[in-house]
Amino acid sequence: MKKLFLLLIGVMTLVACQQETHTLYLDQMDLSKMETGWGKNQINKSVEGNPLTIAGHVFDRGIGTHAVSKMMIDLHGNGKFFSASVGVDDESNEHASVEFFVLGDEKILWQSGLMKKGDDPKLAEVNLKGIKKMALYVSDGGDNINYDHADWADAVIEYFGDTPPVSVQPVKPKAYILTPPPPESPHINYPRVYGAGTGKPFLFRIPASGKRPMKFSAEGLPAGLKLDANTGVISGNVFRTGTYKVTVTAENAKGKDRQEIKFFIGFKLALTPPMGWNSWNCWGISVDHDKVLAAADAFVNSGLADHGWMYINIDDGWEAEKRTDKGELLPNQKFPDMKSLAGKVHTHGLKLGIYSSPGPKTCGGYLGSWKHELQDARTWASWGIDYLKYDWCSYGNIAKDQSLPELQKPYKIMRKCLDNVNRDIIYSLCQYGMGDVWKWGAGVGGNLWRTTYDINDSWASMAGIGFSQDKCSPYAGPGHWNDPDMLVVGQVGWGPTLHQTRLTPDEQYTHISLWSLLAAPLLIGCDLSQLDDFTLNLLTNDEVLAVDQDPLGKQAVKVKDADGIQVWKKQLQDGSITVGLFYTGTSAPEEALQWNDKIKTRKITVNWDDLHISGKQNVRDLWRQKDLGVFEDTFEAEVNYHGVVLVKISGEK
Ligand code: GLA
């Protein structure tokens, strides 16, 4: 028997040895399953589309990618050899730092060590015999992904037999819902403070969840406002500056809720971070009238508006090619009637936002407001626009230099113009953080300012931005917010085709938790007509949204950052704090690569000393909406990889 077995093995080995060896270049494989931290993976080109070049060596073949980059390959056990020349592409700059790894069946087979721009290409030569699944991984080198342009040049797999290796989808953890559905009885949500201008058109939809029909009433409404009892929409004009405490009641067949909402008339707008939707992360320049209207309708029909989501913002791509003879800006044929669109959005008690640039052209190449600022502000006001995103773009060619006065100038000009129209228009500065805009954005009259370059739906991008916002914390407050860019949950794609966000469910919990801790503007960037239960649940947890909308307006600060974990703390108005315990992970491949569906976890401990609190404290899990008990001195939680446990900690009552 044993002899027969040995013979069989011998024959099989002989057959295998006789099997022909084939080669498959990486650039011949399906790259759609390869992940990149920025841009698009490119065949025989760098990630920015230039010839693959490492320290002056030019390569004809290979893949240009960007950290963090991952590719899983099924070798069917037929692998023989892998080789590639790797390095940072010359198109990058001195901020680049990456490390290349070749793994097989969860083990590191080869690693490049840290590589920077200008380092000579390194040759990876890896024996693949007996390996079932291999992975190519480029880490951020332990810092961040900025300028991490990485090349797998001349990358080729040798294999036995006729079944070529194939790239496979990385294992994606399944979505799981943490938050119980909101009760059918009325619950008045957030914001509970709202600012508007004296004598300007006032519009506020009471955010109340619960079964419809619902009846609304209000005591203490300032003169000039009326409430629609069926929709909860309050509108009118208040001509007397002041603070008005309004007691609002929402009632349905299941019960009643009564809450105080404070209206501050004549002081500041955006007393809490704006919450809404923006067309860019889903539709890009393919946005049109129907898509915008569909988003407004979806806010109402999905119930999002009942949880405080208010703004429907049109990003780039709405502008006509030419101004009128009088110099007026017009919408293009995709937006036949802006005024009527605004009117329809307003009927729901929602607001409409628009986009422009201080330069002659927007980032998408459409007309900007250069030399037409007042005229454009008037046009927008006449349409009924409530929010302006003003994006630097081609103003870079107008500005003399990058000095603070030059960076501030166009934003000051538009501020004056907005002050000249009879409408409240939230002013959103977008210039990617130049000149530490967080230090002067409020000074030039911005209600919010982008602190970063554009986000995308990768962990590297979202976490890279979100976890580096500590520096901006002191500058956020009611009326003026740091904007770490829009949300990348749900169906995104920058238009016209969309895909499900590449963030895992845990990464999405992290995204919403972190943005809420940061008191960030929350602008949903997905197609609302395709909202799945998970995404809707993620966007309608009122206890989490209350953290973002807290009237104190403090942005969270980082209290711990060590070995792949971070703890952030946000002070709330009622004296309690919200704490996020994040398992961000290190860039080690054993943590970063998901070979099976087992979720990695870590225990994270936070001590009261770190949080500057003491004594007995109630701890409540905000995603589960569940009290966890009374804790003294310390709290510990088991946290999923790239996930979060978000808790509210308040002194024992
Ligand atoms: C820039 C901005 C984006 C978006 C586009 C539109 O890239 O940062 O948010 O507005 O322009 O062209």
Ligand 1 site, residue 354, Cβ cutoff 6 A:
no
Per-residue model confidence (pLDDT) at position 9: 54
For residue 455, the CA-to-ligand 1 centroid distance in Å is 10
Ligand 1 atom 1: the closest Cα is on which residue? 363
- The count of other CB atoms within 10 Å of the CB of residue 371 is 13
Q: From CA 241, how far away is CA 305, in angstroms rounded?
A: 27
Prediction pTM value: 0.93
For the cut 80, the answer to whether the pLDDT of residue 364 exceeds it is yes
For residue 56, the CA-to-ligand 1 centroid distance in Å is 33
Per-residue model confidence (pLDDT) at position 170: 83
Residue type, 148: D
Q: From CA 560, how far away is CA 567, in angstroms rounded?
A: 5
For the cut 70, the answer to whether the pLDDT of residue 14 exceeds it is no
Q: From CA 128, how far away is CA 112, in angstroms rounded?
A: 17
All CATH 2.60.40.1180 domain ranges in the chain, comma separated: 559-651
- Ligand 1 atom nearest the C-alpha of 450 is 8
Best probe residue, ligand 1, of 277, 282, 454 (max atoms within 8 Å of C-beta): 454
- Helix (H/G/I), strand (E/B), else coil: 407: helix
Burial of 213 (0-12, 13-18, 19+ CB in 10 A): exposed
- The count of other CB atoms within 10 Å of the CB of residue 613 is 17
100-129 exposure pattern, b = at least 16 Cβ within 10 A, e = fewer: bbbbbeeeebbbbeebebebebbebebebe
How many Cα atoms are found within 13 Å in the side-chain-facing hemisphere of 132? 3
Residues labelled catalytic: 391, 454
pLDDT in tens, 382-437: 999 999 999 999 999 999 999 999 999 999 999 999 999 999 999 999 999 999 99
- As given in the structure block, the two tokens for residue 479 are 């009326």
Q: Which of 5-19, 97-111, 201-215, 299-313 has the lowest mean pLDDT?
A: 5-19
For residue 364, the CA-to-ligand 1 centroid distance in Å is 7
For residue 483, the CA-to-ligand 1 centroid distance in Å is 13
Query: Chain centroid to CA 460: how far?
Result: 11
Ligand 1 site, residue 280, Cβ cutoff 6 A:
yes
For the cut 60, the answer to whether the pLDDT of residue 15 exceeds it is no
All CATH 2.60.40.10 domain ranges in the chain, comma separated: 187-265
Report, as an integer, the average pLDDT of 472-489.
98
- CATH architecture of the domain with range 559-651: Sandwich (2.60)
pLDDT in tens, 43-53: 999 999 999 99
Q: Hey, what CATH class is 275-553 in?
A: alpha beta
Which of these CATH numbers, 2.40.10.220, 2.60.120.1060, 3.40.50.1260, 3.40.50.1370, describes 21-168? 2.60.120.1060
pLDDT range class, residue 5, cuts 50, 70, 90: low
- HEC string for 38-105: CCCCEECCCCCCCCEEECCEEECCEEEEECCEEEEEECCCCEEEEEEEEEECCCCCCCCEEEEEEEEC
Nearest in space to 393 (alpha carbons), one of 501, 319, 303? 319
pLDDT in tens, 249-263: 999 999 999 999 999
pLDDT in tens, 552-604: 999 999 999 999 999 999 999 999 999 999 999 998 998 999 999 899 999 99
- As given in the structure block, the two tokens for residue 527 are 């197609």
pLDDT in tens, 610-630: 999 999 999 999 999 999 999
Per-residue model confidence (pLDDT) at position 169: 87
Q: Which of 142-151, 432-441, 551-560 has the lowest mean pLDDT?
A: 142-151
Crossing angle (nearest 10°) for helices 289-301 and 338-347: 0
Q: From CA 549, how far away is CA 542, in angstroms rounded?
A: 10
Report, as an integer, the average pLDDT of 145-156.
96
Q: From CA 572, how far away is CA 648, in angstroms rounded?
A: 9
pLDDT range class, residue 77, cuts 50, 70, 90: very high
How many Cα atoms are found within 13 Å in the side-chain-facing hemisphere of 627? 7
Per-residue model confidence (pLDDT) at position 41: 96
Q: From CA 196, how far away is CA 269, in angstroms rounded?
A: 6
Per-residue model confidence (pLDDT) at position 171: 85
Superfamily of domain 187-265: Immunoglobulins (2.60.40.10)
Report, as an integer, the average pLDDT of 86-96.
97
Average pLDDT of the chain is 96
Of the two residues 11 and 375, the one the predictor is more confident about is 375
For the cut 90, the answer to whether the pLDDT of residue 95 exceeds it is yes
Specify the DSSP class assigned to residue 166. E
